[in-house]
Structure 1
């Protein structure tokens, strides 16, 4: 009897093994779901599974029309182009058949769109953006620091390793952002980065539809967006259409022979961004810029492949709709294939006419930056639909202005004055994002040689000039990097974000007096800016700097603001006669920072040393 039971058990195990072996691997479908009622009637589905290329797809849903079934060189892929223009929301069955035998089944869903989704308002001049590197901001859930399926583990002592910050940490401190006065949140990439090392920064995507589990999951990202929205904060997603990580799941099974640039022969980009616009540039240099890889761990995507191009466009729209985004920041904008970026932005703006997208074009030449903005008439005929760009020229000029002395005819503040004069090159200079620093450069306090007074002047300018301001996390408490250029140090942990931190910037615990003053200064200026339309959208008129003083006005209707930035180490008497046209009967100004009233009906105004004045004119 015992042998019979043993034989039966062996037979059962053998049978189960055969069943398991016969069961097909799960079918991957991307995007996993979509929405009815989108502006574009077309939807492309990427199907991935073993040897599915010769299977016949069937879709059963009223209103859906299969336009094309596309087979590629890799038999593990199928692409379906379907028309959903007449389809209503609901679930339907997708089957892959071998003759009459069903090999794969998948329940696809067209979801109902949220009311007003297409008319969502993207970030704009009324906002101030707070930039966070999520791994370095706050660790809200230590349990997800290490995930078995993820290659790199947490090591807070490694400046280039993962420290454990996550989405839950950001959610837990949204009230801090709100109280400070921030109204938009740009989070460095949070999608899966299953790289062997230096995965914390997020710029080597290994799955375009999945949040990295060490940050949380897709549902938690949606929760971040919802909870931020409850506090009047828009969520901006950092997207990377140019390249992926070398551990992306595609790399084990590339869909086509031209999915990547230099797919079989790695070449690094030459970083010659200006070659795109240069009328004298060799085609070799232009092509190597856009087709070359950043580094060997970041394969460059070939966006001339129409299937890949559609995949990337749909992925961006999917995240906007799914996570209720208030904006997109595009990494390495000019490194992508230019015609593709035209279509990428056009399609997004077609779906969401009031949305905003800011591109990174790290050039100090405003003519190079202006080339990519929507509405710019370019000599070579290139058309862009990108609304906004990061204003690297102004950032660089601001630092030069503050670090340089005022002894020459073109030194000091004149760097900034002259750079702003280039605004005639932009189609919409008011829609540029201005910033003192970001995650890829030395912190502004470091750039200004840890001079708190100069840092206040820098922040005052950023928060009162034209454009949309962005501050990097920790700028408000004078975070700095002692090792210039070291990204791991630049992206230092925000104090108070980890249990056991002795210094807590969220509560003010153990901040130095100088740090507390800067935090309070920033908070006052941010919250004042929220309700001051003149510095959001008002006309800017600036006066040529003189003897270390730079002054400009922001005017919107009857509201006038006069900003005076004094670099002098001593008090300075500013003659007021040249401002008569702008003052125009205004006899006093109330400083938004200190609340002090200054009389403007005198010959001169006594300026405090090395300090800003932000005067609401009355």
Structure 2
């Protein structure tokens, strides 16, 4: 397709299809997989299974072997570290070649990092520094490549959610005084738009000579000065209106409009961006958007965009196009934002990643996590209902704002890989829409206390995981991949694990004195158990926070759904030496079963 320089050239009728891939009936049935496109696949791997399950032997990059760990640190560790700050070569075609890998893992929806054209002079490999909202970043591929990825995913029963940005553009202009910080809402003078080399030599006005294609911002209507707030970067991230009006570091804040929520008046820039994202839905047959940095947008702007996208997708037959907003902060902020804006689900609620990780590691009280989902005190709705499909749950991600400067993946500590299946099991069988971060299924450790280290390359290149280079990690026979696949197959089979109510269960060591597991001192070595119940079906889930020894406990089950002597069958256990042992229901604390979990164990049980 010819490049589009102006929104006047944009024609939705020209790209509309006769029909579109239908939306899922229920998004809580899905398992998401978030990947940074630049770090996922370049399509040059060998010795992996292709989309049809056939072995590929023609690639250039061999599979990772344990002895490859650390091979990038000798002789030049600094070169490997610096490579993590640059584009390393992942592409849309590479992603297309690994759809079968994701399908066999059990993934049913992929969330792809932004794919749009970046500021040419910068290494914004993550995709959040957009320079052209209607073009694909050339290093990632073409519009046709995106269409092909979505088509291939749909053929394999996988939905596609695209990461988009409304809040800001890339670093497309320079201020007169360098990088000012927000100061009481003052508008700072601008030196000019940046040219292809990053120098602010272009006039800060539309249609600057020499701007196309790598200078300024595109399409051309966005080059109006009033597109941007021009108030300097945010210094105090919770100060209102600073966090709404300021730049996100060097990324330039876009002015969305003004007015109260119910009478919000969108800016020309917001109107244009809404048209741009409708275009991408129509062109590529996308199934949802993850909207970046919603916290930093007016509620009215978010509501406007949600309404526009909802009407458009309903008109083309996508009844449940999903809008996930990144809403950092507490539960109350997430709830308020969703209720007022029409977004479908929240991502980034700090309590969820923190408690998912550290509860499994024995450093959080279980009641604190499970209480996050008891929203009846916030809204007058049935307990456990709202968060079932209104929050995306994950424990590893590409930012880890919650950890401050000490960023690292779950598996960074010595015990992490031994508890990985427990935390994944916890994530995918408790309430919410579960999401796995790429590389988690291969126990990536993200060790290094910096953003770059939690963004390792799956395909090797110059910045591979485990401080390696030149080897890929698409290993379906790794210790974790087959087990995750089994676990996700059970989730798909059992509707209670996807849509059921959720209850933390009381436990007992002697079968007489029952109570909820809790911290005693600095850590908790215990069985943690919960039930998912739908109608007359109960699935009992449990993990052991102790990675050194087995734990045995009586675990309460629903008194009305079971009778003494009923047998619960083991649907899943992650321990290689454990047997699928049935357990009998006894009349204890109403009704209970006795479970023995191996170190770091995770199990699922259901009545026969």
TM-score, normalisation: structure 1: 0.70
Measured after TM superposition, the shift of residue 610 of structure 1 is 2.7
User: Is the contact between residue 361 and residue 545 of structure 2 (CA under 8 Å) also seen in structure 1?
Assistant: no
Give the 3 Å change call, closer, same or farther, for CA 605–242 of structure 1 in structure 2.
Answer: same
Question: How far apart, in 1, do the equivalents of 2:416 and 2:223 lie?
Answer: 53
Q: Are 2:298 and 1:319 aligned?
A: no
Measured after TM superposition, the shift of residue 354 of structure 1 is 1.4
CA offset digits 1:522-557 (Å, max 9, x no partner):
111122222221111122222253262221111234
Aligned partner of 1:601 in structure 2 is: 585
Once structures 1 and 2 are overlaid, which stretch shifts more, 603-612 or 212-221? 603-612
Aligned partner of 1:358 in structure 2 is: 324
Give the 3 Å change call, closer, same or farther, for CA 557–220 of structure 1 in structure 2.
Answer: same
Please list, as runs of the form range in 1=range in 2, the aligned pairs for 1:239-318 lying within 5 A after superposition: 239-247=164-172, 249-251=215-217, 255-262=223-230, 265-268=231-234, 270-272=236-238, 285-296=239-250, 298-304=251-257, 306-318=267-279
Question: How far apart, in 1, do the equivalents of 2:555 and 2:81 lie?
Answer: 54
CA offset digits 1:578-613 (Å, max 9, x no partner):
653454564222232467132123463333333111
Q: Are 2:450 and 1:492 aligned?
A: no
Question: How far apart, in 2, do the equivalents of 1:580 and 1:191 lie?
Answer: 54
User: Is the contact between residue 123 and residue 327 of structure 1 (CA under 8 Å) also seen in structure 2?
Assistant: no
Q: 2:155 aligns with which of 230, 237, 256?
A: 230
CA offset digits 1:71-113 (Å, max 9, x no partner):
xxxxxxxxxxxxxxxxxxxxxxxxxxxxxxxxxxxxxxx4443
Q: 1:589 aligns with which of 569, 579, 597?
A: 569
Measured after TM superposition, the shift of residue 422 of structure 1 is 4.7
Give the 3 Å change call, closer, same or farther, for CA 361–577 of structure 1 in structure 2.
Answer: closer
Q: Secondary structure at the match of 1:258?
A: helix
Aligned partner of 1:580 in structure 2 is: 559
Q: Secondary structure at the match of 2:240?
A: helix
Question: How far apart, in 2, do the equivalents of 1:27 and 1:229 lie?
Answer: 27
Q: Are 2:94 and 1:169 aligned?
A: yes
Aligned partner of 1:416 in structure 2 is: 369
Question: How far apart, in 1, do the equivalents of 2:361 and 2:555 lie?
Answer: 26
Measured after TM superposition, the shift of residue 331 of structure 1 is 0.6
Give the 3 Å change call, closer, same or farther, for CA 177–111 of structure 1 in structure 2.
Answer: closer
Question: How far apart, in 2, do the equivalents of 1:370 and 1:232 lie?
Answer: 31
Q: Relative contact order (alpha carbons < 8 A, sep ≥ 6): 1 or 2 greater?
A: 2
Measured after TM superposition, the shift of residue 339 of structure 1 is 0.6
Question: How far apart, in 2, do the equivalents of 1:155 and 1:318 lie?
Answer: 39
Question: How far apart, in 2, do the equivalents of 1:288 and 1:237 lie?
Answer: 28
Aligned partner of 2:501 in structure 1 is: 539
The structure number with the bigger radius of gyration is 1
Aligned partner of 2:394 in structure 1 is: 435
Question: How far apart, in 1, do the equivalents of 2:418 and 2:394 lie?
Answer: 17
Q: Secondary structure at the match of 2:19?
A: coil
Question: How far apart, in 1, do the equivalents of 2:581 and 2:411 lie?
Answer: 33
CA offset digits 1:336-384 (Å, max 9, x no partner):
1221111101111122341111111121x211121111xx3xxxxxx21
Q: Secondary structure at the match of 1:318?
A: helix
Q: 2:378 aligns with which of 420, 425, 443?
A: 425
Measured after TM superposition, the shift of residue 157 of structure 1 is 5.6
Question: Unaligned regions of 5+ residues in structure 2, if any?
Answer: 46-78, 173-213, 258-265, 314-318, 401-406, 507-515, 519-525, 587-592
User: Is the contact between residue 156 and residue 162 of structure 1 (CA under 8 Å) also seen in structure 2?
Assistant: no
Question: How far apart, in 2, do the equivalents of 1:564 and 1:581 lie?
Answer: 20
Please list, as runs of the form range in 1=range in 2, the aligned pairs for 1:331-350 lying within 5 A after superposition: 331-350=292-311
Q: Secondary structure at the match of 2:570?
A: strand
Once structures 1 and 2 are overlaid, which stretch shifts more, 340-349 or 527-536? 527-536
Q: Secondary structure at the match of 1:551?
A: strand
Measured after TM superposition, the shift of residue 414 of structure 1 is 3.6
Question: How far apart, in 1, do the equivalents of 2:4 and 2:530 lie?
Answer: 61
Give the 3 Å change call, closer, same or farther, for CA 396–197 of structure 1 in structure 2.
Answer: same
Aligned partner of 1:528 in structure 2 is: 490
Aligned partner of 1:472 in structure 2 is: 437
TM-score, normalisation: structure 2: 0.71
Please list, as runs of the form range in 1=range in 2, the aligned pairs for 1:33-48 lying within 5 A after superposition: 33-36=10-13
Give the 3 Å change call, closer, same or farther, for CA 393–584 of structure 1 in structure 2.
Answer: farther
Question: How far apart, in 2, do the equivalents of 1:615 and 1:506 lie?
Answer: 31
Give the 3 Å change call, closer, same or farther, for CA 611–491 of structure 1 in structure 2.
Answer: same
Give the 3 Å change call, closer, same or farther, for CA 27–34 of structure 1 in structure 2.
Answer: closer
Question: Unaligned regions of 5+ residues in structure 1, if any?
Answer: 1-25, 37-109, 143-153, 273-284, 377-382, 406-410, 510-515
Question: How far apart, in 2, do the equivalents of 1:245 and 1:502 lie?
Answer: 31
Q: 1:570 aligns with which of 531, 541, 549?
A: 549
User: Is the contact between residue 87 and residue 123 of structure 2 (CA under 8 Å) also seen in structure 1?
Assistant: yes
Q: Secondary structure at the match of 1:311?
A: helix
Q: Are 2:342 and 1:385 aligned?
A: yes
Give the 3 Å change call, closer, same or farther, for CA 166–27 of structure 1 in structure 2.
Answer: closer
Question: How far apart, in 2, do the equivalents of 1:206 and 1:155 lie?
Answer: 28
Question: How far apart, in 2, do the equivalents of 1:141 and 1:570 lie?
Answer: 43
Aligned partner of 2:420 in structure 1 is: 455
Q: Are 2:98 and 1:139 aligned?
A: no
Give the 3 Å change call, closer, same or farther, for CA 269–359 of structure 1 in structure 2.
Answer: farther
User: Is the contact between residue 562 and residue 617 of structure 1 (CA under 8 Å) also seen in structure 2?
Assistant: no
Measured after TM superposition, the shift of residue 128 of structure 1 is 0.6
Aligned partner of 2:204 in structure 1 is: none
User: Is the contact between residue 288 and residue 323 of structure 2 (CA under 8 Å) also seen in structure 1?
Assistant: yes
Question: How far apart, in 2, do the equivalents of 1:384 and 1:584 lie?
Answer: 46
Question: How far apart, in 2, do the equivalents of 1:454 and 1:507 lie?
Answer: 19
User: Is the contact between residue 15 and residue 283 of structure 2 (CA under 8 Å) also seen in structure 1?
Assistant: no
Q: 2:537 aligns with which of 546, 554, 559?
A: 559
Question: How far apart, in 2, do the equivalents of 1:556 and 1:27 lie?
Answer: 50
Measured after TM superposition, the shift of residue 447 of structure 1 is 5.8
Q: Secondary structure at the match of 2:38?
A: helix
Question: How far apart, in 2, do the equivalents of 1:389 and 1:487 lie?
Answer: 22
User: Is the contact between residue 122 and residue 327 of structure 1 (CA under 8 Å) also seen in structure 2?
Assistant: no
Question: How far apart, in 2, do the equivalents of 1:501 and 1:196 lie?
Answer: 25
Question: How far apart, in 2, do the equivalents of 1:591 and 1:419 lie?
Answer: 27
Measured after TM superposition, the shift of residue 255 of structure 1 is 4.0
